[in-house]
Every structure is written in C-alpha cells, then in structure tokens.
Amino acid sequence: MKTLAEAAGVVARPPAEVFERLVSKLGGGGHPMRMEVERARGFVAVQGGWWYRGEYRVTADPGGARVEHRVVNAASWGRWGVPVANRFFVGFRKEVSAGFGRLLAELGTPEWPRADFGA
C-alpha cells in the first residue's frame, strides 16, 4: 500500500477517550466503509471504494493524546488508475491536512456531540 498523505496532532484529552470518540466519529460517516478496530493498539482503519484506506493511531502524549492519520492507496487492482481517477491528487495533501485539523478540534471539544458518549 502506498501512502498518499499523512498528518498528526495532539488533542488535550485522555487517549482512551479520544480513541473512543474517533471510533464513534468514523463509524457514523455517510459513506459505506469497512472498519477495523484494534483498541489494544489504539488503531482504527476505515476502507471504502476501490482504493481508499484511512488509518489512525492514538497514543499517549504529554499534552493528552497524539493522533496520527495516514491515507493509503489500498487498491488490489487498477492501482495505476487511482491517481488518474483523482486528478493526480492535486491539492489532496492540503485537503487531508485541513480535514484532519477539523477532526482534531472536534475530538478535543469538552462536550462531545453524541449525548450517549460517557466521558
């Protein structure tokens, strides 16, 4: 699998809480995705379409929880066509970085949007 974009940042909340918030957020998306969760490793991945795989890792950090994100080309066939289908990813890294920044801000909010989440 080829890495297409990476981003990382710190959320000022406990790692276990950030991880559960992340899993909840990724599981509630509007796109059909396969989800892989490994709580012991602080790892979650979502995969959808024919090429997209987003991987996240949450680890302890002196400032709270370090969240790392990686987008990879997981195509098992037609791998060569992924850049063409995505206009050679012009602006892709910038979009990933901006979206990840919004995600970090949301994960760090004192009041989580889901009322049923127990902090």
Higher pLDDT, 46 or 28: 46
Higher pLDDT, 67 or 79: 67
What pTM was estimated for this model as a whole?
0.80
pLDDT band at 84; cut points 50, 70, 90? low
Closest CA to 100 of 67, 73, 53, 52: 67
Residue 10, CA distances (Å) to 58, 73, 100 in order: 9, 25, 11
